[in-house]
Amino acid sequence: MNHTGNVAAVLALEDGTVFHGRSIGAKGNTTGEVVFNTAMTGYQEILTDPSYCRQIVTLTYPHIGNTGTNPEDLEAASVYAAGLIIRDLPAVHSNWRASESLESFLQRGKIVAIADIDTRKLTRILREKGALAGCIMTGEKADATAAVHAARKFPGLKGMDLAKVVSTKRVYQWNEGTNWGEFQGPKSRPGQRVHVVAYDYGIKRNILRCLADHGARVTVVPAQTPADKVLAMNPDGIFLSNGPGDPEPCTYAIEAIKKFLQTDIPVFGICLGHQLLGLASDAKTVKMKFGHHGANHPVQDIASGRVLISSQNHGFAVDESTLGENVKVTHKSLFDGSLQGIERTDCPAFSFQGHPEASPGPQDVGQLFARFTAMIHQRLASQQSAQSPAASKDGRRAAEG
């Protein structure tokens, strides 16, 4: 793969701000919503997270690309971020797992990217004004005026249904766990695996691994799969994944979730899935000023008072003031007080706004996967108890009495 060398590039924001740098990715132009992510590591996972569809990601850590890229750290089959903005790309990458440089990875994935940008200044602009539409242009003909015009033509993510764009188009099975640390994947628990149907609104691979680690046999279905089709699969639990865009236009998902909430099947949602559970519970969602994007966001577990450090990636949030009496707040952000978790009090459903699977980020909130599978096993135990001969005999005695 050829190095881009000193090919000129321009970054323009809709407010007219222009930055000049050099191209480190594919040739061409890209537009999207410019956001900033404060994670110090995990750039490959960030770029391949489908939740970044139509977003140009600014990484605030100054040195990006030190460890190159590898096939194992992909969160999806391709890069979903619309573009990448960094301060400095090292001339040489070094890591025993690396198979290619970040520059080569971006070019092969046809992702437009720019380096040598004052990311501190850019981040301050985004923090003060909110997420802005932006455009990266590369090459000798990169024109600042044209880039500003292109940025202003971007419609924004409000009202944009991207879940059905990034979702899988077919049903498939997933059984691979992480096979590290205290877990050894599903192989360590033969005969005890529960069936979880996971909606793919932009699901990350590490979410699937975490579900498998906790003893699940996962069936992944497209975002627009009707509830009746999922219920026909006889799931023990239903998972609502992360994903990009505005949750409100995803009416197909909201209607399906409402049907699931009328059953006793445990439901667990994260990120976009959390917002969709809120909408299915008749709450409202709002577009945040600049969202949460990083791997060091503190949230508080309301019940225990514990502070958990979480990975976050969202630009929309459930409006706490619109929650009904049957919805309980479970987690809140210690950065801005925004809602981070909810639980239904009338059915087995709960959700978390951040990413308990991390990748990148801490594992503090990973316990939510264990909670989900515990709810599933509790339901199965109740069903088995109701179907046992002793229970049937007691039922007949009660009827005869």
Q: Which residues are catalytic?
A: 271, 355, 357
Q: How far apart are CA 147 and CA 149, in angstroms?
A: 5
Residue 32 structure tokens: 């999207």
315 is in an annotated binding site: yes
Q: How far apart are CA 327 and CA 280, in angstroms?
A: 11
Q: For residue 303, how far is the Cα from the chain centroid?
A: 25
181 is in an annotated binding site: no
The strand pairing partners of 58, in sequence order, are 36, 85
**Complete edge-to-edge strand list for the sheet that includes strand 307-318:** 172-174, 216-222, 194-200, 237-240, 267-270, 349-352, 339-344, 327-333, 285-301, 307-318
Q: For residue 96, how far is the Cα from the chain centroid?
A: 28
SS3 letters for 255-321?
HHHHHHCCCCCCEEEECHHHHHHHHHCCCCEEEEEEEEEEEEEEEEECCCCCEEEEEEEEEEEECHH
Q: What sign for the dihedral angle of Cα 168, 110, 91, 135? A: negative
106 is in an annotated binding site: no
What is the distance between the terminal CA atoms of the chain, rounded to a whole angstrom?
Answer: 82
- Give the residue from 157, 399, 191 showing the smallest Cα distance to 290: 157
159 is in an annotated binding site: no
Q: Are 258 and 94 in contact (CB under 8 A)?
A: no
313 is in an annotated binding site: yes
Q: How far apart are CA 90 and CA 73, in angstroms?
A: 20
Q: How far apart are CA 303 and CA 326, in angstroms?
A: 17
Q: For residue 293, how far is the Cα from the chain centroid?
A: 10
316 is in an annotated binding site: yes
Binding site residue list:
51, 243, 245, 272, 275, 313, 315-316
Binding site residue list for L-glutamine:
51, 243, 245, 272, 275, 313, 315-316
